[in-house]
Amino acid sequence: MKHFPGYGDNADSHTDLVYDNRSLEELRANDFLPFKAGIEAGADSIMVSHNIVPAIDDVPSSISPEINKILRNELGFEGVIMTDDFDMQGLVQFVDQDTGALQTIQAGTDMILSSSYASQVPYIIEQVKAGTITEERIDQSVKRILGMKYDLGLIK
């Protein structure tokens, strides 16, 4: 499922930094509903947009711990949370990709969609070695990703 918390009628985050100024109540009443239904139907993953939703957090949704708390705690999602493409302007105009990768992992995201993995993977490994990210945090995501792959028949 994508793009949590919803897009509404705002600009395109492929080309620009995007703000969604709707209230949390409006998002809950409208945009969260299809995600809630999908979660109840067994969705295995949710892609989070780069939209900045000031009613929730002041950073892009893809690097927001508050967005992940809503997915996990309010909506009861137990599957894989992934980002939208990290090369999109809606993110890179806000933060560099390595820092964004660190922030999204710290926020609780499981999977990063990025073509800049050649720099991000070593950077994240350095952050684990430095204790900025714990191995347990990485293990949580690995377990969810492997569980999804197993459920899809991609691994045995």
Please state whether the peptide bond connecting residue 50 to the residue before it is cis, i.e. omega within 30 degrees of 0: no
Told to judge if 14 belongs to the known catalytic residues of this protein, a careful annotator would answer: yes
Q: Which of 14, 58, 96, 151 is catalytic?
A: 14
In the chain, the amino acid numbered 120 is: Q
In the chain, the amino acid numbered 67 is: I
Q: Which of 20, 31, 84, 110 is catalytic?
A: 84
Q: Which residues contact 113 (CB under 8 A, 6 or more apart)?
A: 47, 82, 83, 84, 85, 86
Token couple for 137: 């945090």
Distance CA 136, CA 44 (A): 21
Token couple for 59: 């950073």
Told to judge if 84 belongs to the known catalytic residues of this protein, a careful annotator would answer: yes
Q: Which residues of 73-96 are buried (b: 16+ CB within 10 A; e: fewer)?
A: eebebebbbbbbbbebebbbebbe
Q: Which residues are catalytic?
A: 14, 84
